[in-house]
Structure 1
Amino acid sequence: MEQRLKQLDYDVVVVGGGSAGVAAAISAANNGSRTLLIEAGPLIGGEMLSGLPIDGCLSTRGEWVVGGVAREIFKECDRLGGYVGHFYDWRTIWVVSVDPEIMKLAVVNVVRRAGVDMLLYTFAEEVVVQDGSVKGVIVLNKNQRTLITAKVFIDCSGDGDLAQRAGAPFESGGGNGEFQPVSLVFRMSGVDFGRLMTFVGENPENVAVAENPYYADISREEQVRRLVEQGYPKVFFVANGPLIKQAIADGDLHATALIGIGPVSMKRREVYCNTTRIADVDATRTDQLTKALPDLMDQVWSCAGFLSRRVPGFEDAHFSGIAPRIGIRETRRIMGDYVLTAEDVLEARKRDDGVAKGAHHIDVHGSGTKQLRQPIKDGGSYDIPYGSLIPRNLTNVLLAGRCFSATREAHGSARVMGTCMAMGQAVGTAAAMVSKSNHMDVRQVPVEALRSRLKAQGAVIDGTH
């Protein structure tokens, strides 16, 4: 005899505890809604815990285009001693660097302060839908299966699981079934930063700089000099440079488009390393994602050895950590009331219905050494309209994070963590507005009122290039 389902009820339920989900849950709770954040893993924060820099928070011009909840999390990280800094990489982007171990603490502190309830180790396995309205999700954990009802649901699952199961249309990967590579970030500590950056300055042919036309009036040599002298060990070693090309030819390194290195702790002399990649893994297929892990681990270990043997500054460094999960660049894109386009991104388009901003270049990785990068006009930012966060066919569901509505190229810009947090704040605030009203359709939110509330709570909505 089947046990009767336990039931919980909330105003707003957020599925997925990555950067978008954390921001959405905090925002919904800060705006007065009883909010539950559901996460399948043991920690919240997603890729913010990987060691990667948090891209998309500033434009190429150095203007902050993401504020509000993101800045609150950075402030908490700084209070605990884990905010490394924000700076230009002299390639294409401004980055925000944090200590991922401190970020684990900071994210939980801010979520708790907002009054968000959490369920970790909990998988949303079934969606209850009636006439385009999600009535509840059935979740599974060690307690038992539980039906959770709410007025509004926010899909921050990354893969668009909730919206897809509720009947929203979607696209996956590229037109020929290809997917951007999955990666596993690792860390090295005890790095001699000075020696590393001296090597960069003396061997600029190995380094990616001067790729953004906004700084075209500054010579490549001058950009390398500024990169070396700015005080942070931030560098991209490129695949067509002699260092990596020879290592790949010698079998000393896997085929890769780059080795991205940046600081996570100045005290520990620790950097993240972003280089591993396995393309065309459908990460919604658990068997495929699981199969990728051993090969990614092999790439981590071989790259750590390569750095120690061939890159000055790493002679006495040691392997110090690995991301808590495989990094996924793309799976499903849920089709919404509006589909953000490459032209919206590249032309830095502003909109009256914009509720978040993006500033990362179009960045679509391929197999091996392939990567598409296209900068935004004049180093500016673009607006993400509210309609890109509303899935078609559903009345009380919102989207944030890499499952939002976009073409593949536009998604390649907006999938980064800073932009995901901006989207999360927007939909968390909108969900709270819906939950306090008598109507249930998220499309009835007055966008101008939403924009005003977001601005009042520190989000960046206008006033940027």
Structure 2
Amino acid sequence: MAQTLIQENYDVVVTGGGCAGIAAAISAAKAGMKTLLVEAGSMLGGELITGLCIDGALNARGEWIVGGVLKEILDEHERLGGYIGPVKDWRLIWYVCVDPEIMKLAVANVVRRAGVHVWMYSFAEDVVRRGDEITGVVVINKRGRVLVEAPVYIDASGDGDIALRAGAQMMISNDKGEFQPVTMLFRIGGVDTMDLLRFCVDHPENLAVGESEWMGASLTPKECAQNLYDQGQPAVFFKANGPLITGGIERGELQQTALIGIIPVSSERKEVSVNTTRVANIDATDAVALSRVFSDLTDQAWRSIAFMKKNIPGFEKSYFAGLSHRIGIRETRRVVGDYVLTGDDVRNARKREDGIGKGSHHIDIHQDGTKQVRIPVADGGSYDMPYDMLVAKGIRNLYVAGRCMSADREGHGSARVMGPCMAQGEAAGLGAALTLRGNQPGDLRSVDIGQLQSELKKQGAIVDGTH
């Protein structure tokens, strides 16, 4: 029997409740727009709540380059407790370290306060397009099939689901068809931080440190390790070609990996998050393939915990504390926008008059086995993300933000992390509001970029004034 479509209307519809999506929805709702946020899963926040640190919110010089919605969420986290904040790894970048359990509450509080309408457990399955305009998105959940109509849509799905169904041009992977590895983050409690850091000082040959002039390139690895010790936080990256990981792989105790990344998530619980599991060349838009690899990743996580307890001081009395609520995906589809962010933009720290946010994360492309590309941004600075990279080419009223952004593979390798994704989402949400207030509602190319930049700065976003 054919199912009758329910019909609803909003000013702005955002698909995807990860970093970019929540920033977009909050920004649009705070600007007075009736905003719907559609999320297929059971929680809002995406990578913010997996245990991963927030990359790309500060440049290598330690300057904040992302504010606005991100700062509001971090302020709420700090109010609730458990916030750690910026930590240096003496490798390439600064991280913002958060407690994923408290972050779940912080995200929910800020989304609610902004007045966003949220549909969780809901999937945007189809698009209605007339000419160069999207006129509706079909959302399915246990309520039924709902046709949601709005003047502006924001695709923050990570995989470009709305853009694909609307017929936008897409980019996938590279010319070899490779995909960066998928990852399952896990957490370990009861870690003795100072024992771990003493091990780093005694065995600096294991550390990925001093990879930029702003992170100790003029220092010896031991001096960098001493700086980590003095910082007093368990923010440690063991490199693939160091004896610790090489020995573990040779003995069969550890999977082939580019790193063991250890990041603090809770000082109170002596808890860290670990990034080391990986399975490469999985097309994460294939639900069957992605589901099949889940058990491989959890097996790797359990083996990694045993390896760390046996081989890394500070972990002897540690215990398994938690698993990410989802598989971490680095890349799938990228949408072609009116501008494609490039690796040259990133590595040269290119500034632009039409910048609506900043990125500073190095070009970061994980590969199969133990390989990883890491190319820093020039002078420890940041690059500007142009407005046109948010606008889906050939479609009048569709923004793309977050992992499905318009970028080549190198540009994406930097801008895919949480800091710049939230800046993209915030700009898209406010841009949607500006076009709906203007003379050509829904025409994203009619937005006055200068006005958008001014309004972004009023709500605390960082558009200029940094290296």
Residue 198 (structure 2) pairs with residue 198 (structure 1): yes
Query: Partner residue of 1:448?
Result: 450
Q: Give unpaired runs (5+ residues) of structure 1.
A: none
Alpha-carbon distance in structure 2 between the residues aligned to 1:384 and 1:285: 30
Query: Partner residue of 1:67?
Result: 67
Deviates more, 1:389-398 or 1:435-444: 435-444
Alignment of 1:125-136 (within 5 A): 125-136=125-136
Q: 1:207-232 CA distances to partner (integer Å, 9 max, x unpaired)?
A: 11000133433443322211111011
Counterpart amino acid of residue 223 in structure 1: C
Alpha-carbon distance in structure 2 between the residues aligned to 1:163 and 1:133: 11
Question: Offset of 1:114 from its aligned partner?
Answer: 0.2
Residue 283 (structure 2) pairs with residue 282 (structure 1): yes
Query: Partner residue of 1:153?
Result: 153
**Conserved? CA contact 1:340–1:406, under 8 Å:** yes
Question: Offset of 1:393 from its aligned partner?
Answer: 1.0
Question: Offset of 1:460 from its aligned partner?
Answer: 0.4
Query: Partner residue of 2:12?
Result: 12
Q: 1:285-330 CA distances to partner (integer Å, 9 max, x unpaired)?
A: 1111111101001100000111111111101000010000000000
Alpha-carbon distance in structure 1 between the residues aligned to 2:372 and 2:174: 14
Give the secondary structure class of the aligned counterpart of 2:429: helix
Alpha-carbon distance in structure 2 between the residues aligned to 1:317 and 1:61: 34
Counterpart amino acid of residue 11 in structure 2: D
Alignment of 1:421-440 (within 5 A): 421-439=422-440, 440=442
**Conserved? CA contact 1:82–1:103, under 8 Å:** no
Query: Partner residue of 1:270?
Result: 271
Counterpart amino acid of residue 145 in structure 1: R
Question: Offset of 1:88 from its aligned partner?
Answer: 1.3
Give the secondary structure class of the aligned counterpart of 2:84: strand
**Conserved? CA contact 1:12–1:435, under 8 Å:** no
Residue 133 (structure 2) pairs with residue 138 (structure 1): no
Give the secondary structure class of the aligned counterpart of 2:102: helix
Counterpart amino acid of residue 274 in structure 1: N
Query: Partner residue of 2:166?
Result: 166
**Conserved? CA contact 2:3–2:145, under 8 Å:** no
Alpha-carbon distance in structure 1 between the residues aligned to 2:217 and 2:258: 23
Residue 226 (structure 2) pairs with residue 255 (structure 1): no
Residue 333 (structure 2) pairs with residue 332 (structure 1): yes
Alpha-carbon distance in structure 1 between the residues aligned to 2:167 and 2:447: 22
Alignment of 1:43-442 (within 5 A): 43-214=43-214, 215-439=216-440, 440-442=442-444
Q: What's the % identity of the aligned pairs?
A: 56
Question: Offset of 1:127 from its aligned partner?
Answer: 0.5
Alpha-carbon distance in structure 2 between the residues aligned to 1:9 and 1:437: 19
Q: 1:342-384 CA distances to partner (integer Å, 9 max, x unpaired)?
A: 1110110100000010000000000010100001110000000
Alpha-carbon distance in structure 1 between the residues aligned to 2:132 and 2:177: 29
Alpha-carbon distance in structure 2 between the residues aligned to 1:85 and 1:108: 19
Question: Offset of 1:82 from its aligned partner?
Answer: 2.7
Give the secondary structure class of the aligned counterpart of 2:150: strand
Alpha-carbon distance in structure 2 between the residues aligned to 1:197 and 1:168: 49
Give the secondary structure class of the aligned counterpart of 1:138: strand
Question: Offset of 1:430 from its aligned partner?
Answer: 0.1
Alpha-carbon distance in structure 2 between the residues aligned to 1:265 and 1:227: 17
**Conserved? CA contact 2:258–2:371, under 8 Å:** yes
Counterpart amino acid of residue 200 in structure 2: V
Counterpart amino acid of residue 209 in structure 1: V
**Conserved? CA contact 2:82–2:267, under 8 Å:** no
TM-score by length of 2: 0.98
Give the secondary structure class of the aligned counterpart of 1:83: coil
Question: Offset of 1:175 from its aligned partner?
Answer: 1.2
Alpha-carbon distance in structure 1 between the residues aligned to 2:461 and 2:244: 42
Aligned pair count reads: 465
Question: Offset of 1:187 from its aligned partner?
Answer: 0.2
Give the secondary structure class of the aligned counterpart of 2:65: coil
Query: Partner residue of 1:28?
Result: 28
